[in-house]
Amino acid sequence: QEQQSLLLRSASCFPLPPGAKFSYGTSGFRANASLLESTVFRVGILAALRSIQTRSVIGLMITASHNEVSDNGVKLADPSGGMLTQSWEPFADSLANAPDPHSLLQLLDDFVKKENIILEASPAAEVLLGRDTRPSGETLLEATKQGITSIMGATASDMGILTTPQLHWMVRAKNKGIEATEVNYYDQILASFRCLLDYVPQGNSSKNVSDKLIVDGADGVGGEKLEKMKTRLGYLTIDVRNCGDGVLNEGVGADFVQKEKVVPRSFGPADAGMRCASLDGDADRLVYFSVLLNSNKIDLVDGDKILSLFAVFLKEQLGILNGPEDGKSNKSYQPSLGVVQTAYANGASTDYLKQLGLEVALTPTGVKYLHEKAAEYDIGIYFEANGHGTVLFSDNFLSWLEIKKQELSLKSKDQHKAALRLLAVSRLINQAVGDALSGLFLVEAILKHMGWSIHKWNELYQDLPSRQLKVKVVDRTAVITENAETKVVNPAGIQEAIDAETVIYPKGRCFIRPSGTEDVVRVYAEASTQEAADSLANSVVRLVE
């Protein structure tokens, strides 16, 4: 009773804006910030319920990633630090769209019964809150707190301004009973980074890899955080640009750089040839690039190539670990290594990974799908071409490595080092979600290990020319795909028409899919030349229109 009137009272302070329709997409709720107060209030309630049901800490992040600064958004992190379970998404939708406090209460009542969530005798619930640097974040955070505390016994712990992956990391750590402050995050990353540097093979440590990295912070939260880590890096000097003085995501950031293939603001001809990286607005995406001579164009080193670099390194370390001296005892356990991509992965990257002898799995677009698939391997590497990805290590494999490490310390120096490197990678790279900062330090450590410049890295394979276009449509849900978005099953006949276009072009490949974040159908085409890729994409756009 008391609970009900508390909910009614607070809900009436956050009315639904007229005409608004919200949907919990691949990246949570997103909209113009002025529309979101009722939404974040309700997601606060949802987070408290999830915390009660799972008896764990839940994360709530206020961000709209690479969207323009006037937008904002909200998404939840589950106890493992991963995305909110998909089974709760429909309820999130109905909650966000409930027209008034009474219908909201009714929805909550029904859901609590259905899910067997016991509010009265509930243990304390806790929600960790984070937000990016968007000015609207402060007001939205207040509304969120109201939502959380309108469930009796629930508390909101404000962690301040964070990158999205930092919040996910904290949720994961806290639920494992590990200390989970921002400082703990930096300590863990930097300690494992230095460990990897300690074991760089001697022949390579002297190679001429530039000690300087220039980073585009997208005028968001990532640049700020990188500034805090900068002083503790040893050999590496990082020049952070676009660190918050300019407009967030405007002509800057990983999304801009990957899509436009030109230099971000504050970069120019003077940077030609240097190793550069770009983060997105909430620092969960990372791409590298180098500026071409006398031009504002760049050589893009995208998520596919970061994945390939990680794959080469990890495969090499597994190979050393399984070394000849230890052939017998190893037969009992062969760790599995797999990579996960989406249909957007450049065809040349997929060929390259297969040539390495790796198992390549394809999933639909969206981190939750890639992450879930990668978790099936002992070492699962996943990346989207746009730069979101990470490496997951199974608990089994990590326990085995710990034992192995002891064994090997007396037996083989090389194998022992490989075990130590793999353990360091598992602590360096974020196990909860793709993380531009931890990804950046792993890239830097591996380049140093290999003795590779960014150019050498970029030459692992040559990208096939590609083109992405979008078509505005009345109803994007009319397009239904299968086989990881590589085949259209509805509307009938379209796939045959796409196939008929595609075979005209050497190395042609093309697919369409409904966007999860905009009212458009996306078209992706690649072929042996840029002209051919453009032409294929344009023909398929005409088929969709």
Q: Cα 303 to the chain's mean position, in Å? A: 10
Determine, following the binding rule CB under 6 A, whether residue 522 of this chain makes contact with ligand 16G.
yes
Which element (helix H / strand E) includes 467? strand 466-472
Residue count at the site for Zn ion (CB under 5 A)?
4
386 binds, among ligand 16G, Zn ion, none (CB under 5 to 8 A by kind): ligand 16G
Q: Which of residues 15-54 bind ligand 16G (CB under 6 A)?
A: 26-27
| Owner of token pair 């096939």 | 464
Determine, following the binding rule CB under 6 A, whether residue 516 of this chain makes contact with ligand 16G.
yes
Which of 258, 341, 350, 386 forms a contact with ligand 16G (CB under 6 A)? 386
Determine, following the binding rule CB under 6 A, whether residue 364 of this chain makes contact with ligand 16G.
no
Dihedral angle, C-alpha 399, 402, 405, 407, nearest 10 °: -70
Rounded distance, CA 489 to CA 509, Å? 17
Known catalytic residue: 65? yes
Nearer to ligand 16G, 435 or 463 (CB): 435
Rounded CA Rg of the chain: 24
Which of 182, 282, 378, 384 forms a contact with ligand 16G (CB under 6 A)? 384
Rounded distance, CA 522 to CA 466, Å? 13
* Stretch of residues binding ligand 16G (CB under 6 A), selected from 31-39, 112-120, 443-451, 514-522: 514-522
Active-site option among 38, 65, 136, 412: 65
**Is 65 marked as a binding-site residue?**
yes
Nearer to Zn ion, 285 or 404 (CB): 285
282 binds, among Zn ion, ligand 16G, none (CB under 5 to 8 A by kind): Zn ion
Which of 71, 282, 378, 526 forms a contact with Zn ion (CB under 5 A)? 282
Task: Say if residues 392 and 375 touch (Cβ distance below 8 Å).
Answer: yes
Determine, following the binding rule CB under 5 A, whether residue 284 of this chain makes contact with Zn ion.
yes
Determine, following the binding rule CB under 6 A, whether residue 415 of this chain makes contact with ligand 16G.
no
Token couple for 5: 């009137």
Q: Which of residues 39-78 bind Zn ion (CB under 5 A)?
A: 65
Task: Say if residues 326 and 415 touch (Cβ distance below 8 Å).
Answer: yes
DSSP string, 9-76: HHHTTSPPPTT-----BTTBEEEEGGG-HHHHHHHHHHHHHHHHHHTSEEEEEE--TTS-TTEEEEEE
- Phi and psi torsions of 215, nearest 5°: -120, 130
Nearer to ligand 16G, 147 or 366 (CB): 366
Which of 223, 366, 389, 439 forms a contact with ligand 16G (CB under 6 A)? 366
Please write down the long-range contacts of 261-266, taking CB distance under 8 Å and 24 or more positions apart: 261/297, 261/298, 261/300, 262/296, 262/297, 262/298, 263/289, 263/291, 263/296, 263/297, 263/298, 264/216, 264/218, 266/216, 266/241, 266/242
280 binds, among ligand 16G, Zn ion, none (CB under 5 to 8 A by kind): Zn ion
Q: How far is the CB of 66 from Zn ion (least distance, A)?
A: 6
HSE-CB for 411 with a 13 A CA cutoff: 17
Task: Say if residues 441 and 189 touch (Cβ distance below 8 Å).
Answer: yes
**Is 280 marked as a binding-site residue?**
yes
Q: Cα 189 to the chain's mean position, in Å? A: 17
Q: How far is the CB of 365 from ligand 16G (least distance, A)?
A: 5
Binding residues for Mg(2+) are: 65, 280, 282, 284
Q: Which residues bind Zn ion (CB under 5 A)?
A: 65, 280, 282, 284
Catalytic residues: 65
Binding residues are: 65, 280, 282, 284, 384-386, 513-517, 522
Q: Which residues bind ligand 16G (CB under 6 A)?
A: 26-27, 365-367, 384, 386, 388, 515-518, 522
Binding residues for substrate are: 384-386, 513-517, 522
